[in-house]
Structure 1
Amino acid sequence: MLVAPPGSGKTSLLPLALGDALGGTIIVAEPRRLATRAAAARLAMLVGEPLGQRIGYAMRGERTGGQGLRVEVVTTGLLVRRLQQNPELPGVSAIVIDECHERHLDADLLLAFCVDIRANLREDLAIVATSATPDTVRLSRALGTDVPAPVITASAALFEVAVEWVPPPVAVPLLPGGRVDPRLLDHVAAVVQRAWTENDGDILVFVPGEAEIDGVTRRLAGWNVLPLFGRQSKAEQDRALAATATRRIVVTTSVAESSLTVPGIRVVVDAGLAREPRTDQSRGLGALVTCRVSRSSADQRAGRAGREAPGRVYRCWSAVDHTHLDEHPAPEIATADLAGFALDLAAWGAPAGAGLTLLEAPPAVAMTAATELLRRLEAVDDSGRITERGRRMGAIGAHPRLARALMDATPRIGADRAREIVAMLSDDAGRDFGDDLPARWRALRRGADRGATARWREETKRLSRGTTAGTALAPPAGGASPGAAAGAQAGGASAGSSRPAAVVPDDLAVGVVVGLAYPDRIGRVRGVGSATYQMSGGTGAALDPQSPLRNTTWLAIAVADRAPGRADARIRSAAPIDEQTARDLAGELVSTTDQIRWDDGRIVTRRVEALGAIVLNDVPLANPDPLLVQAAVRDGIRRSGLSVLRWSEAALALRQRLAFCHAYLGAPWPAVDDEALLTGLDEWLGTELAAVRGARDLSHIDVTSALRRLLPWPAASRFGELAPERLEVPSGSQVRLTYDGAEPPVLAVKLQEVFGWTATPAVADGRVPVVLHLLSPARRPVAITSDLASFWRQGYPQVRADLRARYPRHAWPEDPLTATPTKRPKPRQ
């Protein structure tokens, strides 16, 4: 492990020193294409040889140098694919993994593979990880076997960089969708002009992306401004990296943060923003998100000004804001789409990273989503092991979704058109042409943007190399690809053929490829004239109101991102399709279900055909399954509650008597609270539910009879004795008892009717005394007691005195125990 600051020779001097010490070929892995080419050029200059002699480089679609190189600089992604093909690396003595601290996904994967190779195949293979930050504990542990690998710290004669804090005069927040407020670009351009007048030397300006590069460049019209970004042509990049005699302003992105020296730079102007990949796992949407730069990245950027002489950095934020920045950027494994990562692990024989030394375990949710996607694509089997189809997909060197699209679109539209469309989607080379993907394709073919067209053609050629009719473009194992038969019937070319399938129009051909890559993003418009779509994956998506795709009923959506707080995603690129094509492309998402549900007091029965979350047909169901109807009724009652039934006084009284027995006698008397009755609906209400079709039917159910099914036999034979409905009082009246669940029952009776009653009556085999509500002749309570004997002794004299005055026509004897009970007043004299 080598830790050294920018400009200390990690990328240039170290590989040459390793070559002298070890012999063989030294491979240097760089995270970016721009840094790969620049590092190789720097090494060739140091040894005084042209590129390709003993110093070479390689990246996707481009290579300089052949066998026997002293040093080869490659992109990390390319080296990962090389290791998959030949992990023994014959002739290679060391691998330098540069800028490990940036924690790119390919670099994490490469490090794990290299450690595995050294442990099992090549003990002699030297692995050196380099970093510009001292946060090396995790790296050194990963590189070591029994003990952490040694960490060598080097210093360099770096020049001092003065810091100027120049926040905008007013706070400028990020706009929805991660867009940069034009006011911030105005401020950046103004700071550049100030820096030009206050300093000598060239200026390097950091902004988050190409759109912002263009925005700052336009604001500095008339100045010597050169853009520098990863998707430029080699000539354009060389022009920005070459030393010049005249002062210049180089506007760039994070690609120039590390592994790269831009000669002549004395000043850095940093907008303080970066663009990083983020994936919404729950919706399957990915996007590049604009975020605040981390402190370590800000230091890396500032260091560009001190590579050759003392410099200055102008930071477009405050010193206070700087303390609130994250220390390091989030590792890509924590935020990115892991489908390609998971396929590489499966191809290595380590599904989900089992047995590998990964710097950080992939998030479980993201890894599960990636593995499930690979299963749907038939790239891995149920155990996570790679299939033959998965190996063919991996050999294509594109995201698994795009590899699948290339393989399965070829029989439909022809290999040439499939490659061209996948190349466009893979590189997004035509993104400046708006959201209309067929229009992008046409613009690329006619060369509207020479640089974009050149990159697109190179990627198309790369996709054609190594793909043959019998291998990479073969249909899935076990049969034709989804919908391939329909494509063949429509006149599609055979697998691997370059002959275009002329029957499929160009616009629809783009939609076919996009739909095969992203079946979960097939969308149908929500209404006539609407610009919003329902995607099959369940998320809504909206077109720009001015989009040429407006009024298109069906879309295959390639890119959609959802800003926080927005219900619908924003469609960034898409192609029109029709319903039949949507059905063919996403056949695995098409389902027909009978929906029988309780809705607002009635049974609704429908037969619904859907493509994922898109309802294709919804018609009444003529003969619904009676069992499903009963299940819907049960569900409706459970959701709405027992109040949807008609509870007569008799039903309520029976329920309370049952509740009383359960409370005081326990088993076998059942619970009859709401939860128990709803849980056991079938047990007591099942027969009646079979005939229910709506709320009116529920109102006709005899709940009393249904509840009687809960009476436990043979104990039910004593129900009337244990919890009697009525009690006979001394006057001869049969008086109703009132039950209230777990409370003792209440007997409300006129006081005169219980003369002579010496003891309080009890129920439940004498366990529970009745609560007597003794009433006046006007049936108003004058006493409440559960101890009648005590009442006669202590309470009755006072009650008698009061009642004699109020009801003189009634008998109020001094001794109620010997008096004759009556329910009538004394006869008139």
Structure 2
Amino acid sequence: MMTQLPIEAVLPALKNSLQIHKNAVLVAPPGAGKTTRIPLALLDEPWLEGSRILMLEPRRLAARAAARYMAASLGEQVGETVGYRVRLDTKVGPKTRIEVITEGVLTRLLQADPALEDTGIVIFDEFHERNLHADLGLALCLESQSVLREDLRILVMSATLDADPVAALLNDAPVIVSEGQAFPVETRYLNRRVEERMETVVARTVQEALKNDEGDILVFLPGAGEIRRTETRLVEAGLGRNVHIAPLYGSLSRKAQDLAISPSLPDERKVVLATSIAETSLTVEGVRIVIDSGLMRIPRFSPRTGMTSLETVPVSRASADQRRGRAGRQGPGVCYRLWTEQEDRHLALRSIPEILEADLAPLALELAAWGVSDSGELLWLDPPPAAAFAQARELLSQLGALASDGTITPHGRRMAELGLHPRLAHMVLQAVPLRLGGLACELAALLSERDVLRSDRTVLDADLRLRIEALRSVKKAGRTEVMSVSGFHVDTAACRRILSEADRWRRMLGISEEEEGDADACGILLAFAYPDRIAQKRTTGRFLLRNGRGAAFSELQPLSNAPYLVAAELGDQVPESRIFLAAPIELTELEQYMGDQIETASVIEWDGTAQAVRARKRKRLGALLLKDAPFADPDPEEILEAMLHGIAQEGLEILPWTRAARQFRQRLAFMHKIEAEWPDVSDSALVSTLENWLAPHLYGLKSRSDLQRLNLTGIFESMLPWEKRQVLDEYAPTHFTAPSGSRIPVDYSDPDNPVLAVRLQEIFGLKETPRIARGKVPLTLHLLSPAQRPVQVTQDLASFWKNAYFEVKKDLKGRYPKHYWPDDPLSATPTNRTRPKK
């Protein structure tokens, strides 16, 4: 006979709602009995007509426990009326009507049978956890209900859910609320923030609770590492012979998990060290005390890097309340919160749904298999972020899962059928024809679990081949005692789980036991799974990834000098990601297996360091330069283009500017100033028109030294027709013949003010300022002393003779007494000597 549970009070309302409506939402607090009572209560409803009930549970442990409890309440074994399907473990039979399923099992069932023909209702339990698979499963079920199965019913159940948005998504489904029944729980906070290691605080609190409070203890910690360290501290503290410590996390063996949730023996107490696996659905018998670290570990996907990393974050308000409720399931309890009341006021109300932060590649592949390329075609409580979804589809295209039109390929459909992450599914399928399928299955199982190596050191060797060696050693030895590989402890229990998983993939793909594969092939297999994380050595321990990002080991290790490797696990550090797991790969393997992705290009470009054009053949894999070698007989036109680019890059000063060439250019600039139809020879104009005026003269030239052979004066002259050359000499003469007979060069460096720098004595008798451009432009006279120093600047020579000469004469005569300084400069004899000849 079943115990009366609080949920019983709302069963009539729930049954009535599902009789009238296709969908419903049930909100019931922890301990109300919704998980184990609702499926049994609906089993004989007339609308079910003998069809099965599918109930999706977020965790395997909770799924198995719920199935066993319901089967026991019927006086049956699991696999009769009630069964379950979880990863690596299925117990269903021909008479099974209720199936408790997990993770991707619902998705697999929907992909195989979109109408779910033999199913009457799908129940989503603990939906407040908002797992990615739950959101996807609900979206697909709604699509199936809308298009294929109008009679299919959907029930969403939760303890802390905001029911209104879910009810709206389910076509305004009715909401049934169970008040439940919970015993009072006293909540105790810390007086100050935790400054010690969390494991130390937890161990001390456990000892305090054992001393002051009654019942078993459930401790919430973020992960397996913290659980192991806390267990060590408690063992060292010596809790007494009647106190047993029981870890509880997802990758533990089923036997160890069952031990943790079983009732303690009389006169014994139990301390369960658990992750958030014990937060919902699961009743740990005998618990009256909860110690909450206030932390949880969640996967965070970075669209910026394409990587997922685990982050330890504070729990939400909803999670903290769920955890506290564990102490009040079977009687009054106490909850120790290892944070202050002030910190408690700043907790987020709810955790962020996984769909908003997760790697969406698995979801994108499932949608493609469903026939959907745009996630907006389905109904979501929170739609997948557009950027992350687009990045996921880009990865699927790179893995060959999507065709150019975005539809799923036969290879992509096979990937989806495997139920692995798309990266690992692609790797396994690529490995089979290479007779590396066994090794690929081992790698896929390894990368889906936590690390099998342990060490007292802070950093483990990242080489994945060591993990393969550990797996095969455990498989060969068939024993459970402590083993080691290369000085690292081996988690034999984890190895056995991984080997079991690998064997399942072997059987599915028809891979024989003899087909093991050399561990040295890990690199190429990882390259299939993580083509974007193929890396090339920069310096010892530092690498460049194919996607252009940097990566490095935190400390030197054997792989630090590998010329190439593939990183399977990376951190999201900036500027260089930390490499946690990797395997080496040879260049020849990249060329053999990634040849269709390697781009070969003939590169002819200006080398600024060598100041010359270099012709190279380059092979690239993304950002990685695999080969770079010179090649003969490059295309002359490409050489010319590279030379022009180099000149533009270096600037016009790279050209061989003689005095004559500079003056010719300056004269042209002067002519352009007074008449716009003359060529513009400014730096910007010349650089932008290099292909017009300079390119014809560059054939056969490859370097800066070759440029010295150019005759720039002749090149500039060739820019002018014959008529303009004559006009140029007339308008902008190169020299002025002074009254002394000297030919003085005209300085056109300032096109607005051409300058004639001449010694004062050489222009005695010259009455007016000389002019050029047919008299339009006066020269600016720099009148020089015998020592070639300016004594006057003027454009009005007549005024100088009349007003300024006599003061200048007085000064010059004092400094240069031997020189000729007449009283009447206009009638004096000009000279380029100290005194004029008699």
State the TM-score bracket (shorter-chain normalisation).
0.7 to 0.9
Give the partner amino acid of 1:185.
E
Deviation at 1:381, TM superposition (A): 0.3
Tell me which residue corresponds to 1:474.
none
Matches within 5 A, 1:102-113: 102-113=129-140
- Tell me, in whole angstroms, the C-alpha distance in 1 between the residues paired with 2:705 and 2:413: 62
Which moves more between the two structures, 367-376 or 277-286?
277-286
Residues 421-443 of structure 1: CA deviation (Å, up to 9, x unaligned): 43344445745596413213313
Q: Structure 1 regions of 5+ residues with no counterpart?
A: 173-182, 468-495
Contact 1:195 1:267 in 2 (8 A): yes
Contact 1:444 1:456 in 2 (8 A): no
Deviation at 1:230, TM superposition (A): 0.9
Tell me which residue corresponds to 2:203.
189
- Tell me, in whole angstroms, the C-alpha distance in 2 between the residues paired with 1:137 and 1:617: 60
**2:275 aligned residue (253, 272, 280):** 253
Residue 104 of structure 2 aligns to a residue whose secondary structure is helix
Matches within 5 A, 1:709-724: 718-720=727-729, 723-724=732-733
Does 2:253 match 1:233? Answer: yes
Contact 1:429 1:453 in 2 (8 A): no
Distance change >3 Å, CA 212–CA 773, structure 1 → 2: same
Contact 1:161 1:305 in 2 (8 A): no
- Tell me, in whole angstroms, the C-alpha distance in 2 between the residues paired with 1:788 and 1:133: 99
Tell me which residue corresponds to 1:508.
520
Contact 1:725 1:736 in 2 (8 A): yes
**1:621 aligned residue (621, 631, 635):** 631
Residue 680 of structure 2 aligns to a residue whose secondary structure is coil
Tell me which residue corresponds to 1:645.
655
Which moves more between the two structures, 42-51 or 332-341?
42-51
- Tell me, in whole angstroms, the C-alpha distance in 2 between the residues paired with 1:739 and 1:100: 84
Distance change >3 Å, CA 551–CA 776, structure 1 → 2: closer
Give the partner amino acid of 1:83.
L
Contact 2:364 2:392 in 1 (8 A): yes
Does 2:83 match 1:56? Answer: yes
Distance change >3 Å, CA 214–CA 791, structure 1 → 2: same
Tell me which residue corresponds to 2:336.
314
Tell me which residue corresponds to 2:64.
37
Contact 1:402 1:422 in 2 (8 A): yes
- Tell me, in whole angstroms, the C-alpha distance in 2 between the residues paired with 1:609 and 1:665: 53
**1:77 aligned residue (90, 93, 104):** 104
Distance change >3 Å, CA 697–CA 91, structure 1 → 2: same
TM-score, L = length of structure 1: 0.80
- Tell me, in whole angstroms, the C-alpha distance in 2 between the residues paired with 1:756 and 1:390: 94
Distance change >3 Å, CA 437–CA 777, structure 1 → 2: same
**1:243 aligned residue (263, 281, 295):** 263
Does 2:469 match 1:439? Answer: yes
Residues 206-242 of structure 1: CA deviation (Å, up to 9, x unaligned): 2222222211111111442111111122222122122
Contact 2:188 2:335 in 1 (8 A): yes
Tell me which residue corresponds to 1:692.
701
Contact 2:745 2:756 in 1 (8 A): yes
Tell me which residue corresponds to 2:144.
117
Does 2:107 match 1:86? Answer: no
Does 2:597 match 1:584? Answer: no
- Tell me, in whole angstroms, the C-alpha distance in 1 between the residues paired with 2:179 and 2:705: 86
**1:560 aligned residue (558, 564, 569):** 569
Contact 2:55 2:125 in 1 (8 A): yes
Distance change >3 Å, CA 374–CA 759, structure 1 → 2: same
- Tell me, in whole angstroms, the C-alpha distance in 2 between the residues paired with 1:326 and 1:653: 76
- Tell me, in whole angstroms, the C-alpha distance in 2 between the residues paired with 1:770 and 1:740: 12
- Tell me, in whole angstroms, the C-alpha distance in 1 between the residues paired with 2:804 and 2:783: 11
Instruction: Give the aligned length.
Output: 778
Contact 1:57 1:72 in 2 (8 A): yes
Does 2:223 match 1:213? Answer: no
Contact 1:415 1:500 in 2 (8 A): no
Contact 1:296 1:327 in 2 (8 A): yes
Tell me which residue corresponds to 1:476.
none
- Tell me, in whole angstroms, the C-alpha distance in 1 between the residues paired with 2:389 and 2:714: 56
- Tell me, in whole angstroms, the C-alpha distance in 2 between the residues paired with 1:10 and 1:821: 120
Contact 1:409 1:512 in 2 (8 A): no
**1:267 aligned residue (274, 289, 292):** 289
Taking every aligned residue pair, what percent have the same amino acid on both sides? Answer: 39
Give the partner amino acid of 2:261.
L
Tell me which residue corresponds to 2:400.
378
Residues 624-650 of structure 1: CA deviation (Å, up to 9, x unaligned): 444444444444444443343343333
TM-score, L = length of structure 2: 0.79
**2:494 aligned residue (435, 438, 452):** 452
**2:679 aligned residue (664, 669, 674):** 669
- Tell me, in whole angstroms, the C-alpha distance in 2 between the residues paired with 1:203 and 1:272: 16
Contact 1:748 1:773 in 2 (8 A): yes
Q: Structure 2 regions of 5+ residues with no counterpart?
A: 1-24, 481-491
Tell me which residue corresponds to 1:484.
none
Tell me which residue corresponds to 1:412.
434
Deviation at 1:62, TM superposition (A): 2.3
- Tell me, in whole angstroms, the C-alpha distance in 2 between the residues paired with 1:161 and 1:806: 108
Residues 257-300 of structure 1: CA deviation (Å, up to 9, x unaligned): 33333333333333343333244556554433444444544444
Tell me which residue corresponds to 1:488.
none
Tell me which residue corresponds to 1:178.
none
- Tell me, in whole angstroms, the C-alpha distance in 1 between the residues paired with 2:676 and 2:213: 92
Distance change >3 Å, CA 52–CA 633, structure 1 → 2: same
Matches within 5 A, 1:411-490: 411-413=433-435, 415=437, 418-427=440-449, 430=452, 432=454, 435=464, 436-446=466-476, 447=478, 451-464=493-506, 467=509
Deviation at 1:509, TM superposition (A): 5.2
Give the partner amino acid of 2:187.
A
Deviation at 1:395, TM superposition (A): 0.7
Contact 2:442 2:468 in 1 (8 A): no
**2:379 aligned residue (348, 357, 378):** 357
Contact 1:760 1:770 in 2 (8 A): yes
Contact 1:84 1:348 in 2 (8 A): yes
Which moves more between the two structures, 380-389 or 238-247?
238-247
Deviation at 1:345, TM superposition (A): 1.6
Give the partner amino acid of 1:443.
S
Residue 429 of structure 2 aligns to a residue whose secondary structure is helix
Distance change >3 Å, CA 821–CA 458, structure 1 → 2: same
**1:98 aligned residue (112, 118, 125):** 125
Residues 597-644 of structure 1: CA deviation (Å, up to 9, x unaligned): 515134455445566666655544344444444444444444443343
Deviation at 1:382, TM superposition (A): 0.6
RMSD across aligned positions (CA): 4.3
- Tell me, in whole angstroms, the C-alpha distance in 1 between the residues paired with 2:660 and 2:394: 57
